[in-house]
């Protein structure tokens, strides 16, 4: 072994007092910054072209972002599709998700939705139909619709928030569930608030929604 250098050894050196969290935030000795994961909905307006969905899902797996659901569908503009993502991450992670999404070339606009945004999911639940009357009663309780009935099975369609669907599935459990298929959450902002929409041409990059220093509707 050779190649060492001269100089004061590590224990002889001054050390700084400060520290950062694992998220790179300087620790204020007074208020230690804590970032717990939270669940939120992000909407992305994208070019309606092949490959975008795989770009987005690839981004999430590569960067280890925690994703609960992802849905995609056409919009009022035939050149655009909307991807709705439910994610669970601490705040810095949510910021990263928004910025990384915005960086994909086919992504037009990205917005985190307010907690009061309309969120809907559709589920098809196929249960054993031994007691059709009881099945119908439970379906009623959740505003469900029976879309298929055979002597052995009944399939009920339910729409609503994911919590509502979770409770419906729990309630159907008593009959014996054969199969479930769920779509994942889709969402829109309420009233005049935009979800994620194309910037009008006069808006410059200065008004980028992903820019952290400018308070914007998506910063809650």
Partner 1 sequence: MSERASSITSPTETDDPPTGEQHADESATTQDSRAESDTEQEPVTTGAQSVIRALENAGVEYAFGVQGGAIMPVYDALYDSDIYHVTMAHEQGAAHAADAYGIVSGEPGICLATSGPGATNLVTGIADADMDSDPMLALTGQVPREFVGNDAFQETDTTGVTTPITKDNTFSDDPDTVGSDVSEAFALAREGRPGPTLVDLPKDVTKADTDHEPDDPKVPDTYEVQERADPEIVEQAARRIENSSKPALLLGGGVIKGEASEACREFAIEHEIPVITTMPGIGSFPEDHELSMEMAGMHGTGYANMAVTHCDTLIGIGTRFDDRLTGGIETFAPDAELIHVDIDPAEISKNIHADYPLIGDAETVVTQLAEEMETSPQATKWRAQCQQWKSDYSMAYAAPEDRPVQPEFVVEALDEATSDRAVVTTGVGQHQMWACQYWTYTEPRTWVSSHGLGTMGYGLPSAIGARIAADDDQEVVCIDGDGSFLMTLQGLSVAVRENLDITVVVLNNEYIGMVRQWQDAFFEGRHAASEYNWMPEFDKLAEAFGAQGFRIDEYDEVADTIEAAIDYDGPSVIDAHIDPQANVYPMVPSGGDNGQFALAEDQL
Q: Which is nearer to partner 1, 103 or 190 (CB)?
A: 103
Counting contacts by CB under 8 A, is residue 200 touching partner 1? no
Instruction: Work out the angle at residue 38's Cα, subtended by the Cα atoms of residues 37 and 44, and round it to the nearest 5 degrees.
Output: 115
Q: Which residues are bridge partners to 5 per DSSP?
A: none
CB of 29 to partner 1, least distance (A): 11
Instruction: Identify the bridge partners of residue 120 per DSSP, sorted by sequence position.
Output: 186
Q: Which of 89, 64, 75, 103 is nearest to 211 (CA)?
A: 103
Q: Which of 34, 54, 64, 150 is close enough to bind partner 1 by CB under 8 A?
A: 54
Rounded CA-CA distance 161/38 in Å is 17
26 φ/ψ angles, rounded to the nearest 5 degrees: -60, 135
Which among 123, 122, 119 is positioned nearest to 43, based on CA atoms? Answer: 119
Sketch the per residue contact string, 117 through 136, with partner 1: x for CB under 8 A, - otherwise. Answer: --------------------
Least separation, in Å, of the C-beta of 203 and partner 1? 10
- Among residues 113, 109, 117, 118, the alpha carbon closest in space to that of 77 is found at 109
Q: What is the largest CA-CA distance in the chain?
A: 86
Q: Which is nearer to partner 1, 54 or 150 (CB)?
A: 54
| In the complex, minimum distance from the CB of residue 83 to partner 1, in angstroms, rounded to a whole number | 14
Site for partner 1 in 79-108 (CB under 8 A): 92, 95-96, 99-100, 102-103, 105-108
User: Considering beta carbons, is residue 22 or 192 the nearer one to partner 1?
Assistant: 22
The binding site for partner 1 (CB under 8 A) comprises 1-10, 13-27, 47, 50-51, 54-55, 58, 62, 92, 95-96, 99-100, 102-103, 105-108, 205-206, 208, 210-214
């Amino acid at each position: 072994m050779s190649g060492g250098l001269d100089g004061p050894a590590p224990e002889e050196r001054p050390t700084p007092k400060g520290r950062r969290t694992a998220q790179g935030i300087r620790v204020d000795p007074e208020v230690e910054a804590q970032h717990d994961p939270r669940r939120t909905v992000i909407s992305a307006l994208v070019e309606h072209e092949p490959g975008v969905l795989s770009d987005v899902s690839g981004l999430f797996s590569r960067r280890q972002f925690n994703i609960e659901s992802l849905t995609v569908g056409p919009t009022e503009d035939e050149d655009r599709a909307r991807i709705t993502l439910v994610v669970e991450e601490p705040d810095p992670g949510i910021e990263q998700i928004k910025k990384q999404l915005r960086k994909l070339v086919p992504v037009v606009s990205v917005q985190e939705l307010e907690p009061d945004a309309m969120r809907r999911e559709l589920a098809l639940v196929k249960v054993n139909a031994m007691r059709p009357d009881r099945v119908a009663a439970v379906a009623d309780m959740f505003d469900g619709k029976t879309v298929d009935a055979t002597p052995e099975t009944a399939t009920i369609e339910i729409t609503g928030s994911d919590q509502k669907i979770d409770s419906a599935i729990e309630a159907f459990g008593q009959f014996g569930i054969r199969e479930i298929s769920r779509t994942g959450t889709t969402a829109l902002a309420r009233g005049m608030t935009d979800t994620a929409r194309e910037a009008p041409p006069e808006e410059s990059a200065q008004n980028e929604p992903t820019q952290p220093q400018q308070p914007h509707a998506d910063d809650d």
